[in-house]
Structure 1
Amino acid sequence: MSKQAFEIKITTERKKKDRKTVRIAGGTVWEDTSLADWPDDDFRIFCGDLGNDVNDEVLTRTFNKFPSFQRARVVRDKRTGKSKGFGFVSFREPADFIRAMKEMDGRYVGSRPIKLRKSTWRQRSLDVVKKKEREKQVLLQAFNSMT
């Protein structure tokens, strides 16, 4: 790898790490830097009802049998370090995402059966929420003008 290509790669990786995503949920707005570690174009599963015995490694071992598996993470409380009981799994290909949803929902991971749902992480992005609010206002105005 040439020196110039190496410098471009480092600059690109640094920009990705510095990227912050503004999020909104429950009426609170915050900057979420943890999303910089995840691919933008992945297919992500929300894994619920995880026991305290499940960590990133256990979740990874459970889902890495799928060829396009990318990453798994159990969400933890910042103060105590205990699991919050849910996590996320990322896939590069939609076929593996669908197969994992069908095959793994209800399977025991650790001491409990997991509940899988399609992740809604994109819907909490501030720009998406604002766009939905604008669309809702337009629809309400159109409805009110009809009555």
Structure 2
Amino acid sequence: MTHIVSSLPGRIRVRDARLRNADRLRGLHEKLAGLDGVLSCESNAKSGSLLLHFAAEQVDLAAFEAQIDALVDAELARPQLVSGRRPLKMRVNRYAKLGMIAGLGSSLALVGMGSKRGHAAAGAVFVACLGVHLSTHRRHILR
């Protein structure tokens, strides 16, 4: 997906709402500033944009834009850590997956032992954790 909102000879503007995160913007700024042919790179966290000035005669514009888009996509796909921790959504999903594994394993063990009530309770835990997991990934499921 292209994040380039303006492209003129010697000047490209990249904008995305997710670039309003200062850490994410700083990381992308460093990557784009290091590209061959880039003369300057200005970032604005309030608007979530980067402005690149480059030597138009030194680069193939189509390849340069594709390279910029690839770097932006890679930076936006990277999970952002908050204070060295994963976002809450990812942590909740991790516990939901662990709950599904534990619920399924104990449900199978309890049915083998002949405990119908235990089997039903462990199955309910599995279904509850599955619901959390599916709600976390609901946007990706129905594409």
- Asked if these proteins are the same fold (TM beyond 0.5), I'd say no
Q: Which has the higher helix share?
A: 2
Q: Which has the higher contact order (CA 8 A, sep 6+)?
A: 1
TM-score (norm 2): 0.35
Larger CA Rg, structure 1 vs 2: 2
